[in-house]
């Protein structure tokens, strides 16, 4: 039986993607981006600072890393709390020792429950990115637009009360969005998001919102907990990625971006943090490395030639 021709018709079919949120361009066809002081590779550390309710919500879905066993799930709850009590401060010490500034994707509940952590982040010169209200605050297209708008606003307001100003960046839980999310983020006054992982440099949406891609495959969660690799293997993969990106940057006469997505209750453990400190020391010693916050990368992108391409 011949296939019904209707199966070959797809109203969203377009060059490169199935939407009109931004123009499709391949990396090598764009004007080169140049980082400050002629540096070649921007290393961007993003720490996910999360608060997990002890009873998870499965609407629209359960966040990765959430409670797993019969409730109350104290084993997983307290291991996540280890991140705010111990692991995050080990990471702060590592950043201070290396002299680098980072972005911290922060649940609004962290600001309400642990305001001292917010003070410590800001006093060290780090940046806070909004990361929903808590780890029950997930987004998907089954979430009504009005509810999603309220979730975004609530998250920003919770952080603003602790910070004195609103964050300019957004990180969705599990990088999950609805069809409405980019417009809702722009409407809320955000300058950039980090959820879309289809590139290795920032790019602009048609509504003016910028996406700074936060690579998933090089996250500590993916390498250390999902793939069950060692922290030495993690460090080796980060350095391999740096070397490759540096070679590309030199060959194509433009900068590259290397994101390091970190989780305090994963990387902050005592048998991992030493290797992470050595990794930071190795990277900071490289003359072509530029450690930057998300807002620094955004500023460099916006001043680059033809930044919308």
For 171-199, the pLDDT digits (tens) are 999 999 999 999 999 999 999 999 999 99
CA distance 304 to 256: 13
CA distance 69 to 6: 46
For 220-238, the pLDDT digits (tens) are 999 999 999 999 999 999 9
Question: Is 32-302 CATH 3.20.20.370?
Answer: yes
pLDDT score, position 304: 75
CA distance 182 to 173: 14
pLDDT band of residue 248 (cuts 50, 70, 90) is: very high
pLDDT score, position 107: 98
Average pLDDT for residues 105-117, to the nearest whole number? 97
pLDDT score, position 77: 95
Q: Check pLDDT > 70 for residue 305.
A: no
For 27-68, the pLDDT digits (tens) are 888 889 999 999 999 999 999 999 999 999 998 999 999 999
Backbone dihedral angles phi then psi of residue 187, each to the nearest 5 degrees: -60, -35
Largest CA distance in the chain: 69
> Could you tell me if 104 and 85 are in contact, meaning their C-beta atoms sit under 8 angstroms apart?
no
Residues near 140 by beta carbon (within 8 Å), at least 6 away in sequence: 60, 61, 176, 177, 178
CA distance 303 to 194: 19
> Could you tell me if 266 and 91 are in contact, meaning their C-beta atoms sit under 8 angstroms apart?
no
DSSP of 44-62: EEEEEE----SS---SS-P
DSSP of 268-305: TSTTTHHHHHHHHHHHHTSTTEEE--HHHHHHHHHTSS
For 119-144, the pLDDT digits (tens) are 999 999 999 999 999 999 999 999 99
CA distance 190 to 183: 10
pLDDT score, position 16: 65
Provide, rounded to the nearest whole percent, the portion of the chain with pLDDT above 70.
94
For 272-299, the pLDDT digits (tens) are 999 999 999 999 999 999 999 999 999 9
Which residues make beta-bridge pairs with 258? 43
pLDDT score, position 212: 98
Provide, rounded to the nearest whole percent, the portion of the chain with pLDDT above 90.
87
CA distance 55 to 66: 9
> Could you tell me if 49 and 102 are in contact, meaning their C-beta atoms sit under 8 angstroms apart?
no
Nearest alpha carbon to residue 41 among 286, 295, 303, 293: 286
Please report which helix (H) or strand (E) contains residue 150, including its range: helix 145-163
């Amino acid at each position: 039986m011949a296939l019904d021709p209707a199966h070959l018709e797809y109203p969203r079919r377009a060059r490169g993607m199935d939407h009109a949120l931004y123009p499709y361009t391949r990396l090598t066809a764009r004007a080169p981006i140049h980082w400050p002081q002629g540096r070649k590779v921007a290393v961007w550390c993003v720490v996910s600072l999360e608060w997990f309710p002890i009873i998870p919500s499965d609407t629209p879905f359960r966040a990765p890393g959430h409670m797993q066993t019969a409730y109350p799930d104290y084993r997983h709850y307290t291991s996540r709390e280890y991140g705010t009590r111990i692991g995050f401060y080990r990471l702060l010490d590592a950043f201070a020792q290396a002299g680098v500034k980072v972005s911290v994707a922060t649940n609004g509940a962290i600001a309400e429950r642990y305001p001292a952590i917010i003070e410590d982040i800001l006093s060290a010169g780090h940046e806070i990115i909004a990361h929903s209200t808590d780890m029950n605050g997930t987004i998907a297209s089954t979430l009504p637009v009005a509810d999603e708008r309220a979730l975004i606003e609530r998250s920003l307001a919770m952080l603003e009360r602790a910070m004195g100003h609103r964050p300019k960046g957004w990180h969705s839980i599990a990088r999950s969005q609805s069809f409405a999310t980019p417009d809702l983020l722009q409407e809320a006054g955000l300058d950039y998001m980090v959820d879309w992982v289809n590139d290795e440099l920032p790019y602009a949406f048609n509504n003016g919102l910028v996406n700074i891609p936060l690579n998933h495959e090089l996250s500590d969660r993916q390498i250390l907990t999902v793939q069950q690799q060692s922290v030495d293997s993690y460090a080796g993969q980060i350095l391999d990625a740096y070397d490759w990106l540096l070679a590309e940057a030199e060959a194509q006469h433009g900068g590259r971006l290397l994101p390091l997505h970190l989780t305090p209750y994963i990387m902050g453990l005592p048998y991992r943090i030493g290797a992470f400190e050595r990794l930071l020391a190795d990277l900071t010693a490289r003359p072509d490395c530029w450690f930057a916050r998300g807002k620094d990368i955004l500023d460099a992108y916006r001043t680059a030639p033809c930044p919308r391409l």
